[in-house]
Amino acid sequence: MKQIILACSLGFLLVAPASAETETERQARCEKQGEIIGKASEARLKRTREIKAKEAILGSTEEAYKGSVPILVGYIYTLPRSDLKKADAKLAFVEQCSGFDVSN
């Protein structure tokens, strides 16, 4: 679980927009990035190779979020599969992302 939270933090630092965003915009971004996390987790649990997972996810991701794919998928592939079986990585990501406030 700590690793999933770390992934969320890394994701914010590396792919967060430079401009301020409204809460609605943040929620939408978190949901879209959460979808990437969810797809990566499913692929990891199915033992899909990381490069194949990235290609598949890139193909189904909106242009604005394609920059997030290598980072988020790469991180999911560093986690032990057993951790992904125990926790819902997408839910954890969206929860942490939605609660993250860069203004503090």
DSSP 33-102: HHHHHHHHHHHHHTT--HHHHHHHHHHTS-GGGTTHHHHHHHHHTTS-HHHHHHS-HHHHHHHHHHH--T
- The domain tally of the chain equals 1
Residue 12 lies in a domain: no
Residue 18 lies in a domain: no
Residue 63 lies in a domain: yes
Residue 16 lies in a domain: no
Q: What is the residue range of 88's domain?
A: 2-7+24-99
Residue 60 lies in a domain: yes
Residue 33 lies in a domain: yes
pLDDT for the residue 40 = 97
pTM of the model: 0.76
Residue 102: is its pLDDT beyond 70?
no
Residue 13 lies in a domain: no
pLDDT for the residue 19 = 61
